[in-house]
Amino acid sequence: MRISVRHMFERRLGLFPAFFDANGNLYCNTSFGDYPQNAVTGKMDFEKESIFTGWMLLSYKKKVQASSSLAGHQPELAVNEDVRNWWSAASGKKGEWFLMDLGHIAAVHAVQINFADQDAKLSDTDKVLPYKYIMEGSKDGKHWEMLIDKSKNNADQVHDYTQLTAAKSLRYLKITCVSVPAGKFSISGFRVFGKGPGPMPSAVTKVEIKREKSDSRTARLSWPTSASATGYVVHYGVAPGKLYNSVMLYDQQSLKLNGLNNGVPYYFRIDAFNEAGVQKGKEKQSF
């Protein structure tokens, strides 16, 4: 997965489940692939079963504040789902903190912290040290409980995912720096997963699909806004019920797809999602 901010070839590796369908076609399921998934411990029928936990992202564009901020690295950049920018404190000192308000009490199951390594100047011969921090949670912003204590952490985990032993009803989450390997305390993604209150979004049943007449490898899709949707997952494939490709979108109701097979009919479905869950859309064919 491309980042290309600090270096042209800056990347992250993603692992996604791959399997064969009944016709022997190999395909990969990337739908909600960067949301919590259950580990596969035995044989599964992936056409009927899913490893997705159903825990939704609760932290997207939520109200945040911090102990300090470096110019150009404001707190909001830690909750915009873009790994190419980030929040950074003014220092890496013990006590720097970042606070999130979910806006309502939600059932929190897991937290992922993607550290950004602001101003970390380590060479390939330096000993890599861990990030050390604590994370607290609260219902009212006054009474706090410890959620994660990594003040004595010894593991090098720049993308640090922690599943809570049991779901917690929380509105506020706060992470406090104990120490950093180098540079400043900085976060590109403060991601909170669980279940929010309220209904799921309305289903997307109408989709406008335009294939280029001169080159049908390109398709342009647009659809009306789904009430209360945070985002959409566009599924597509070359046969009904075999929509093996997917694209996740936030805050937009259109998509340009390149790289389709020329002269081949495609099938599309758009699922809407929010903090309460995923609403499956209606499948539509396009030549």
Kindly state whether residues 45 and 60 are assigned to the same domain. Answer: no
Which residue segment(s) compose the domain that 138 sits in?
56-195
Q: Which of 146, 271, 287, 123 is nearest to 210 (CA)?
A: 287
Residues 259-269 have pLDDT tens digits of 999 999 999 99
Structure tokens belonging to residue 95: 């006590």
* Res. 49 pLDDT band, cuts 50 70 90: confident
| Nearest residue to 267 via CA among 284, 255, 279 | 284
pLDDT above 80 (res 75)? yes
Spatial distance between the Cα atoms of 141 and 171, rounded to a whole number of angstroms: 8
How confident is the model over 39-54, as a mean pLDDT? 82
Q: In this structure, are residues 73 and 5 in contact, taking their beta carbons and an 8 Å threshold?
A: no
The neighbour count for residue 47, using CB atoms within 10 Å, is 12
Residues 49 and 60 in one domain: no
**pLDDT at residue 50, rounded to an integer:** 86
The total of other beta-carbon atoms located within 10 Å of residue 49's CB is 9
Mean pLDDT, rounded, for 94-101: 99
189 and 73 part of one domain: yes
- Residues 243-282: tens digit of each pLDDT: 999 999 999 999 999 999 999 999 999 999 999 999 999 9
Task: Give the CATH number of the domain where residue 259 resides.
Answer: 2.60.40.10
Higher pLDDT: 41 or 281? It is: 281
Predicted TM-score (pTM) of this structure: 0.94
Q: How confident is the model at residue 20 (pLDDT cuts 50, 70, 90)?
A: confident
How many domains in the chain?
Answer: 3
Confidence of residue 48 (pLDDT cuts 50, 70, 90): confident
Q: Are residues 79 and 188 in the same domain?
A: yes
Q: In this structure, how many other beta carbons lie within 10 angstroms of the beta carbon of residue 279?
A: 20
Residues in CB range of 97: below 8 A, 6 or more apart: 66, 67, 174, 175, 176, 177
Same domain, yes or no: 172 and 234: no
End of a domain among 54, 72, 90?
54
List the CATH number of the domain containing 151. Answer: 2.60.120.260
Instruction: Please tell me whether residues 30 and 118 are part of one structural domain.
Output: no
Q: pLDDT for 105-148, tens place per residue?
A: 999 999 999 999 999 987 777 777 899 999 999 999 999 999 99
Single residue among 11, 35, 54 that ends a domain in this structure: 54
Predicted confidence (pLDDT) at residue 6 exceeds the cutoff of 90: no
pLDDT tens-digit map of 146-203 = 999 999 999 999 999 999 999 999 999 999 999 999 999 999 999 999 999 999 999 9
The verdict on 60 and 190 lying in the same domain is yes
